[in-house]
Structure 1
Amino acid sequence: MESMALTSDIKKWYPVYTQSRAEKKAYQALLSKGIEAYLPLQRQLRQWSDRKKWVEEPLIKSYLFVHIARQQQTEVLMTTGISRFIYFSGKIAAMPDRQIEELKLLLASPYELEITEERLLPGEKIEIKAGPLKGIRGEIIEYRSQKQLLLRLGDISHSIVVNVSASLIERMNNKS
């Protein structure tokens, strides 16, 4: 019995879908409830008719991530701005801690990021062998150039395209 209680107390990262354009409000509401959350933001220059302004926009529209134990799922769903958890194979999708850390590393890097909801076909698996993104694994895509790699973010149906010099990429033909 005790081991089951300990298992349910283990915190995992879960992607959640928010209401349209409610990512920041939902994030603040989760924090005010004491729930650990992560909302990846990216600075973008926005153009209005009379001015330009740098704004912080969600990297992945309508998504944020919560670090919770299983019994906190209902509390997350009862939070203003949260629509639902993301499911994969009929179960709520959990993400390894490493994927969240890699996402944070990507946002801290000097590389320009591009998010796509396109279901890109898997390419050659690679690992970045040097620089600030060292150790991150991904898949090369061909539709842009040989200097771009595709990093899948688990089960959230999104991909990140990162510009990386080909000299920093190592093929992972026989690595697991």
Structure 2
Amino acid sequence: MIDQNYRWYPVYTRSRAEKKAYDELTRKGIQAYLPLRKTLKQWSDRKKIVEEPLIKSYLFVYISSKEYTEVLMTNGIARFIYFSGKIAAMPDQQIDHLKLLLATEEELAVFDYEIKLGEKVLIKAGPFKDMVAELVSVHHKKRIILRLDNIGYAIEINTSMAFVEPI
């Protein structure tokens, strides 16, 4: 039987401490979820596929309010995430959806800002790197149409929204 007082809560970790905090939470018997994605990293001498957090400095704990303090006393945990003055709780379904999303082979891009149509953006990667453009439309977050200031044309670019940022 599932205790109705248990809920998923996002917690903020210290920088680059997600895996250590997750390990310590599970050692304490606290159910935690750290969404990881595989990514190819390249160094000067080699390439390697590594698992890194999908959302930097975040992990999720399934606890009751009695365990708040125990979570905060875990090495690597900085604080709970608050929304409207209360500790933010997440529906079980959102965690399930996140797990399903990560189970697919789709390449995921996570960014923490919202870019609206008509907004000026800076292109951070690819052949148009460092150009300023206007976001005209977005197709499935992979193909975006940008109006490039320099040439006055709109160009559809096959890139991720992760490679543009608002100015």
TM-score by length of 1: 0.66
Separation (CA, whole Å) in 2 of partners of 1:56 and 1:143: 34
The Cα RMSD (Å) is 2.3
Q: Which residue of 2 aligns with 1:112?
A: 107
Q: Which residue of 1 aligns with 2:68?
A: 73
Separation (CA, whole Å) in 1 of partners of 2:74 and 2:49: 29
Q: Which residue of 2 aligns with 1:172?
A: none
Is the CA contact 1:9–1:70 (under 8 Å) kept in the aligned structure 2?
no
Count of equivalent residues: 125
Q: Which residue of 1 aligns with 2:140?
A: 147
Show the 5 A alignment for 1:10-89.
10-89=5-84
Separation (CA, whole Å) in 2 of partners of 1:67 and 1:73: 10
Distance 1:90 1:26, change over 3 A: same
- Structure 2 stretches lacking a partner, 5+ long: 118-134, 143-160, 162-167
Task: Report the CA distance between 1:49 and its aligned residue.
Answer: 1.0
Separation (CA, whole Å) in 1 of partners of 2:136 and 2:96: 27
Task: Report the CA distance between 1:39 and its aligned residue.
Answer: 0.1
Percent identity between the two aligned chains: 61
Task: Report the CA distance between 1:9 and its aligned residue.
Answer: 6.2
TM-score by length of 2: 0.69
- Structure 1 stretches lacking a partner, 5+ long: 1-7, 123-141, 150-160, 162-176
Amino acid corresponding to residue 65 of structure 2 in structure 1: R
Amino acid corresponding to residue 146 of structure 1 in structure 2: H
SS at match of 2:109: strand
Separation (CA, whole Å) in 2 of partners of 1:53 and 1:144: 35
